[in-house]
Structure 1
């Protein structure tokens, strides 16, 4: 499909391709193919797409940048003992997440240590089935969280702006159902 889109853009004399949302917008190979065809990919560079494609890699990148994160473990070790030690350090309840995941797949809430082995095995099976990758991370499960997103737009000339915030807290199965903008909770100082 990506090749057809690029061919259509070239045939139409287009100079750029905006990939929309989801699907090809999160595909580093497509972003590279667009650039190789001499077109502008309207979206993040392929390197950024790759960096954000793994939740564990993204968390490591944010840690290095000094961004505060929910307490958790996103390392390479994937043994039950590793996750048991991390969960004990973090404190229950914890949330297991597929590192390659999205869409709420490969996520399990574990409230007690006795349920960790079963929860981890279940989340790994679901992650492997959905994404072909069973690697997991674990983080503190935040009760009654606010899920606030801030869209950021930048160009290749150093200009950057944010498009205000939106509250995505109303969810079903870890998928946003309603987005509210501006978000009702943040104070002017926090904004």
Structure 2
């Protein structure tokens, strides 16, 4: 056996094969780390949704109690980061994990659009108030703002539920819930 390893061709093959196996193992661990990163990003999405709910509730309370309305925009969810990592670990995820992550991204992007519309509605109410003063037009816009805000809060609660299910290792709950809620 020792004589076989003294052969330069065999030694070169063993060295090349060992290097190849090292790269394969390193890639396997890296993808495992990326899978953990995906869970962290999804967990961060839940935290972000909680903060957004708090901001929307503060805005609603301020409107209802003080008559003040904020037209500030909301920082969007980091869905592009989730998509990027998701592509890297696609082969290591189950079908439920893939579908659950896609559902979370979908809801987060839809809610971002909804919050953009909420900010536009606030801006419209403020402009209308400046132009005409308080009146039925402003009240109609404020009523629309309140209903949009409540719907946005409900959607962010769904995002939190989905994220918590995913991170807890129960992506099938997201898929089952998502298929029912369509």
- Which is higher, the Rg of structure 1 or of structure 2? 2
Comparing both structures, which one devotes a greater share of its residues to helix? 2
TM-score for both structures, normalised by structure 2: 0.28
Flag the structure with more relative contact order, 1 or 2, with Cα contacts below 8 A and sequence separation at least 6. Answer: 2
TM value normalised by structure 1 = 0.27
Q: Specify which structure has the higher proportion of strand.
A: 1
